[in-house]
């Protein structure tokens, strides 16, 4: 999802995902399951936008912990993302530096 499309976060009843996003998710999932042992300890989605891919992988139990990072995140946006995705255990960060402060490198992680 393009950052300019965050306004759709409040329009969940009338929202349909673009076929490109769905196809991209299917391809990524197929590549990951073919090449990476899942589940991974951590999954970090950098530039995650509306966290569609992060939630897709969350729903497939691809990792033990999930992190979404995007410079466009505000508390309003992350609250909407949590609400729209059934309060999944994905943690949202505005920057890589913010993520690294609370998650020092330890062990294996999958970065997207």
Please say whether the beta carbons of 30 and 51 come within 8 A.
Answer: no
Helix (H, G, I), strand (E, B) or coil at 104: coil
DSSP per-residue codes, 66-88: EEEE-TT--HHHHHHHHHHTTT-
- pLDDT category of residue 111 using cuts at 50, 70 and 90: confident
Confidence of residue 106 (pLDDT cuts 50, 70, 90): confident
Q: What pLDDT, on the 0 to 100 scale, is given for residue 4?
A: 55
Token duo for residue 12: 């969940």
Higher pLDDT, 62 or 111: 62
- Name the DSSP letter for residue 61: T
For range 2-22, the mean pLDDT: 67
| Rounded mean pLDDT, 40-47 | 93
pTM of the model: 0.84
Q: What is the pLDDT of residues 51-92, one digit of tens each?
A: 999 999 999 999 999 999 999 999 999 998 998 888 889 999
Neighbour count for residue 73 (Cβ, 10 Å): 21
């Amino acid at each position: 999802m393009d950052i300019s499309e965050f306004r759709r976060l409040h329009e969940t009843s009338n929202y349909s995902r673009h076929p490109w996003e769905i196809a991209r998710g299917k391809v990524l999932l197929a590549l990951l399951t073919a090449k990476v042992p899942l589940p991974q300890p951590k999954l970090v989605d950098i530039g995650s936008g509306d966290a569609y891919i992060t939630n897709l992988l969350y729903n497939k139990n691809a990792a033990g912990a999930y992190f979404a990072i995007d410079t466009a995140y505000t508390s309003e946006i992350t609250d909407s993302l949590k609400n729209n995705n059934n309060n999944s255990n994905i943690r949202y960060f505005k920057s890589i530096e913010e993520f690294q402060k609370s998650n020092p490198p330890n062990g294996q992680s999958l970065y997207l």
